[in-house]
Amino acid sequence: MEDDLALRVHERLSACPDLRPVGHAEGHRFGLWDLASLAEGALGECTDPDSLTASHEKRLRLRLGASGREYEHNDDYCRRYWIWDAAEDREGGRPRGPLGTVAVDTWPSGVGSLRVSSLYVHPVARRRGLASSTLDTVYEACRAESLHGFRLDTCWTWQRSVRYYLNRGLWVTSWKHALGLARLSYLPRYEVRENGGELTFLVADPDLRAPGAMVPLLVADAVDGRLCLRETEQYDRTRDELNAVRYYARSTLALHLAVRGLPLVRGEEEWAEAVSGRWCDIGDPEGLARKIAVFERVARDDGWRLTGLYDQSSRSRLD
């Protein structure tokens, strides 16, 4: 299943000097890099994917279960790429090999966006901006073909990844099966500012009254272990075609609160709504609090590493 717009995006990606399509004979190698990424996120094991032995690979796949399955190269739903550093190759005079991986779907999802997966940078090549430049490349290719941008999923328990995507300014658009984040043209740039324990969620001024100006939408604070969430006048006035800014601002601020270990529950009534199933896909902070408990329970049952995560017992649970 493929889409013409998506295929034109892939034509642009294939022409990018820092991305190289995975060849038919490289499927297993890509799978090993994907496995190394999963092992690091889920188990905390940092491994050189090109040094994985057959026995080590088997042990990791058994420990990771279904999430550690090996993908076939002829997957019609996405195309896979090696991340390279073309400038480094030019300086060195010869190709030095791939530095990371990324996969992009061949069919739009949501409202005109492509899903990104398998984003991984080898440990020796990190802190060089390779992942950021790859995401920028995918976004620009999508926009050039009239798509809104990209979406991706990550696991709540992979805190390093969660913080990375939040620092990149991605919006939280789902927590149904995992944390869904996105960069989409109809969602403006945002900032979260912290002052004395109070968090303010701001977006780029929609009225363009001043270049670079930011306006506050939501203000969050904690009082006696409960969340206090206040909507500003600008929040009440904010309207867009999909009503996405108002909707996703609440969920995005909720994740920023969660990674700081701040309360997500305002009171008994809001918590009861979350327990009843409301906000189970996306929405108010209480829905994320409830879903975090599910994410952590599943990860614990699967034998994944859980360290420094959200303290449900002391900050969120009211039942």
pLDDT over threshold 80, residue 49: yes
- Adjacency order of strands within the sheet including 113-121: 19-21, 78-83, 100-105, 113-121, 149-154, 179-184, 171-174
Question: Residue 206: which pLDDT band, with cuts at 50, 70 and 90?
Answer: confident
Backbone φ and ψ for 63, nearest 5 degrees, come out as: -70, -35
Fold of 4-154: Aminopeptidase (3.40.630)
pLDDT over threshold 60, residue 283: yes
Alpha-carbon distance 255 to 288, whole Å?
Answer: 8
Provide DSSP, 304-317.
----S---HHHHT-
Instruction: Output the pLDDT for position 290.
Output: 95
Q: Return the higher-pLDDT residue of 239 and 11.
A: 11
pLDDT tens digits, residue range 244-270?
A: 898 999 999 999 999 999 999 999 999
pLDDT tens digits, residue range 135-180?
A: 999 999 999 999 999 999 999 999 999 999 999 999 999 999 999 9
Q: Which two tokens stand for residue 214?
A: 């930011």
Question: Residue 239: which pLDDT band, with cuts at 50, 70 and 90?
Answer: confident
Q: Diameter of the chain by CA atoms?
A: 65
What are the residue boundaries of the structural domains of the chain, listed by start? 4-154, 190-315
pLDDT tens digits, residue range 293-314?
A: 999 999 999 999 887 666 554 3
pLDDT tens digits, residue range 87-104?
A: 776 555 556 789 999 999
Instruction: Output the pLDDT for position 91.
Output: 59
Alpha-carbon distance 213 to 187, whole Å?
Answer: 16
